[in-house]
A and B are shown apart, each in its own frame.
Chain A
Amino acid sequence: MTCKEAFQEISKYLDGELSEELKRALHEHVGRCAHCKVVFDTTVKTIELYCDGKLFPMPENIRNRLHDLLRRKFHERAV
């Protein structure tokens, strides 16, 4: 597998869409190619950073305004 081919397959690998044969070829390539190892590791890390559940918490005042608005709508519909 060449570096260009490895790069094309990393995204499919992350989606669990690679055949066993291509997975083995990708593992083998990334195990010996420092550049592709960096690309693989930092792509995984990119996804991990965006998935950190501690980031972007919803402020309580925003939640309160949402629920106040919805309750007004419920009330309008009820009367």
Chain B
Amino acid sequence: MHYTSMMALEVNRLEKGTDRLTGKSMSAQPQKATERAESELIAEAKAGNGDAFEELVNRYERRIYRLALRLVGNTQDAEDVLQETFLKAFEHLPDFREDSRFYTWIVRIAVNEGLMKLRKRKSDRSEPIEDAVDDQGQVMPREFRDWKPNPEQLLSQEEMERVLLDAAHKLPASLRTVFMLRDVEELSTGETAEALGLTPGAVKARLFRARFQLREELSKVFKSEKSLDL
């Protein structure tokens, strides 16, 4: 394939919000005809219907768990974040004004819970929460060796999960969170800014740095032995 065609294909997939590996839609709101409308479930849950709230939980619990795990880095803390997120969502559901997606609203709760968990942990060991460099800080690539082909096939699932978590936790939480919301959860720049209390410009600046810092970290694991033949 001509290289420009390949780039066009990549960006097409990224822009359309499809799963980058399977090409399947990753829409936050399932579209099966038999599924009840989210607004209907929210209205019933607000009126005190536990079954309706549980149906909302069923829709998003896996994504919230994955987000929590990527943010806090271990299953025990991720479970705490998951539970606190849905307990708080249940308690505060009457305050949900439905001017944003329900998913964006619970993501905001989950991120706050995750960051609180990290702050508590900070006293135990040195883990950067905030970035030492401002949003204008310069990042330049240092690693130019290509990766081995198909890195996802080089490691077991557990090993790959560990590598990805370790790399993500080399970043300050302020960058890691933006990457997870924008590139993994596919929230828009505006939704991410709203969830984190940032300006859209700050989201873009942090995403830029997060993407390239993660690339540098993963390059240490996946780089090929061969140098580029220039």
Which A positions have Cβ atoms within 8 angstroms of B?
A: 4, 7, 11-16, 27, 30-31, 34-35, 37-59, 62-63, 65-67, 69-71, 73-74, 77-78
Contact = CB atoms under 8 A, between A and B. Distances in A.
Contact of B62 (A16, A31, A49, A57): A57
A40 B160 contact: no
Contact of A38 (B14, B145, B160): B145
Nearest to A4: B140
Candidate in B144, B157, B161, B179 with the most chain A CB atoms within 10 angstroms? B144
Given A43-B215, A70-B54, 8 more contacts: A38-B144, A39-B215, A42-B218, A42-B222, A48-B21, A65-B79, A67-B57, A77-B48
A65 B212 CA distance: 37
A49 B147 CA distance: 13
Given A49-B160, A62-B79, A66-B57, A56 B140 contact: no
Interface residues of B, number: 61
B3 A30 contact: yes
Contacts of B10: 44
30 contacts: A7-B212, A11-B204, A11-B207, A11-B208, A11-B212, A16-B14, A31-B4, A35-B230, A38-B228, A42-B147, A42-B222, A46-B214, A47-B14, A47-B20, A49-B152, A49-B160, A49-B218, A50-B70, A50-B164, A50-B184, A51-B183, A51-B184, A52-B160, A55-B66, A55-B161, A62-B65, A65-B83, A66-B86, A70-B50, A70-B87
Interface in B120-160: 140-141, 144-147, 151-152, 157, 160
